Chain A
Amino acid sequence: QLQLQESGPGLVQPSETLSLTCSVSGDSISSDSYYWGWIRQPPGKGLEWIGSVFHTGYTYYTPSLKTRVSISVDTSKNQFYLKLSSMTATDTALYYCARLVGYAREAHPDYWGQGTLVTVSS
Chain B
Amino acid sequence: QSVLTQPPSVSGAPGQRVTISCTGGNSNVGAGYDVHWYQRLPGTAPKLLIYANTNRPSGVPDRFSGSRSGTSASLAISGLQAEDEADYYCQSYDASLSGIVFGGGTELTVL
Q: State the A residues within 8 Å of B (CB).
A: 4, 45-49, 60, 62-63, 96, 105-115
- Interface positions, chain B 77-110, Cβ under 8 Å from A, are 89, 91, 93, 97-105
- Alpha-carbon distance A43/B99, docked complex (angstroms): 22
- Alpha-carbon distance A96/B51, docked complex (angstroms): 19
Q: State the B residues within 8 Å of A (CB).
A: 2, 33-34, 36, 38, 44-48, 51, 57, 89, 91, 93, 97-105
- Alpha-carbon distance A105/B45, docked complex (angstroms): 22
- Alpha-carbon distance A108/B33, docked complex (angstroms): 11
Distance between A82 CB and nearest chain B CB, rounded to angstroms: 15
| CB pair A46 B2 closer than 8 Å | yes
| CB pair B102 A49 closer than 8 Å | yes
Pick from B33, B57, B102: contact of A106, CB below 8 A.
B33
**Chain B, residue nearest A47 (CB):** B102
| CB pair B34 A108 closer than 8 Å | yes
Chain B residue numbers with a CB within 8 Å of A115 are 45
- Alpha-carbon distance A23/B45, docked complex (angstroms): 15
Chain B residue numbers with a CB within 8 Å of A46 are 2, 89, 102-105
Between A and B, 29 residue pairs with Cβ closer than 8 Å are A4-B45, A46-B89, A47-B2, A49-B99, A49-B102, A60-B99, A62-B98, A63-B97, A63-B98, A105-B93, A105-B98, A106-B33, A106-B93, A106-B100, A107-B100, A108-B36, A108-B91, A108-B93, A109-B46, A109-B48, A110-B57, A111-B45, A112-B38, A112-B45, A112-B46, A112-B47, A113-B45, A114-B45, A115-B45
